[in-house]
Amino acid sequence: MSLADRQRIALLEWLEELVHDSDSEVVDAGTWAIRNGVPEAELLPLMHSLVDGGFLKDLVVDQGCWVSLTPAGIAEIRSIQAKRTNRLDRNIYARNVILQWLYDHEEEQVRSLAEMINDPQVHFYGDPLTSDETGRAFSYLREQSMVRARRAFGGDILTPRITARGIACVESGKTVADFTNPQHSGGNVYNTYLPNAQGVIVGEQQNFTQNNNAGIDPSAFIRLAGYLGQVSATLGLEDSERIELERAAQELHAAATSTSPEPGRLQALTSRIVEGLTDAAGTVAGQIALQMGQDALGSLG
């Protein structure tokens, strides 16, 4: 997650807070830029990316950078805030980002892991990592022989370094989890057909073959995600509800097509989708999607 990502999230949250406090739906984003030391040359493309994404409405006036939050923007903020509370995802991110950061700064004399915590490029959906989070993640990586360091009195991690095994992990392009738990051949093979696959699922294929050792047939979840990618615009949902449903479908597709699908993750995402389809039950497509979601949940036993 880049500095630009962090700035986009910060701007959205600032706008929502200001709108809530002032009861005004129109805000000058230039004020946020001044307070945060963001030059106009960076603010304008930042605003344009949010406008293009449908999160802000740009109000054309002679002076200032006046904008208003759209329903999609509010839904995005809620989604981000929810993701920040996911402890599992935060732990996974912390391990991966520590290893990548140490790899990127290998030629520098890093004196403390606090330097990474204070790096504006390091954040989890705009939220900085805590020293406790990074400490636990670093301990895990050290147990995996991927990093080394000295522990100072008080718990500070001094002179952190990446080891040869850690370098091999980064250069393999794999996550820490995939590198430390390699998937061997001989797992169950599942073939899934997605009829007329198109829509919001990025990188979706019509025919999908998966080899996984988790003992889970992900076919029903992949089909559900693919179907929602096709019909989300026809479900009669509000924009914010549709965007949230599409995001959940994308996450479900990614989880179901991973090398180790996690039952708990599949169940949580599918339950979220089924709940989001409540207002679409009056449409034929919505009824079909609801049944697919219930069937997928039933496949978990």
Can you tell me whether residue 196 is helix, strand or coil? coil
- Span 247-258, average pLDDT: 86
pTM score above 0.85? no
Give me the pLDDT at residue 60, please: 55
Structural domains of the chain, count = 3
At 186, the pLDDT band (50, 70, 90 cuts) reads: very low
Most confident by average pLDDT, 27-36, 63-72, 200-209? 27-36
Do 235 and 143 fall into the same domain?
no
Q: Which of 159, 180, 201 is the last residue of a domain?
A: 180
Do 55 and 32 fall into the same domain?
yes
Give me the pLDDT at residue 210, please: 47
CA distance 81 to 75: 10
Give me the pLDDT at residue 197, please: 38
Do 77 and 91 fall into the same domain?
no
Do 234 and 261 fall into the same domain?
yes
- Span 98-116, average pLDDT: 93
Q: pLDDT exceeding 90 applies to what percent of the chain?
A: 25
Q: Which of 52, 83, 114 is the last residue of a domain?
A: 83
212 neighbors 260 (Cβ within 8 angstroms) = yes
Do 192 and 294 fall into the same domain?
yes
Closest CA to 145 of 128, 125, 160, 165: 165
CATH number of domain containing 166: 1.10.10.10
Q: Convert the pLDDT of each residue in 35-90 to its tens digit.
A: 888 888 888 888 888 888 888 887 654 456 788 888 888 898 998 888 899 998 99
Do 129 and 60 fall into the same domain?
no
Do 132 and 149 fall into the same domain?
yes
At 236, the pLDDT band (50, 70, 90 cuts) reads: confident
Give me the pLDDT at residue 284, please: 82
Average per-residue pLDDT in the chain? 82
Evaluate if residue 211 carries a pLDDT over 90: no
Do 166 and 236 fall into the same domain?
no
Closest CA to 72 of 41, 51, 49: 51
Can you tell me whether residue 212 is helix, strand or coil? strand
Domain that holds residue 52: 3-83
Neighbours of 141 (CB within 10 A): 27
Give me the pLDDT at residue 63, please: 56
- The more confident residue out of 7 and 63 is 7
Q: Which of 57, 83, 109 is the last residue of a domain?
A: 83
162 neighbors 108 (Cβ within 8 angstroms) = no
- Span 117-131, average pLDDT: 92
Give me the pLDDT at residue 64, please: 61
Do 13 and 33 fall into the same domain?
yes
Do 100 and 67 fall into the same domain?
no
Do 94 and 53 fall into the same domain?
no
CA distance 300 to 288: 19
Give me the pLDDT at residue 201, please: 38
Do 209 and 110 fall into the same domain?
no
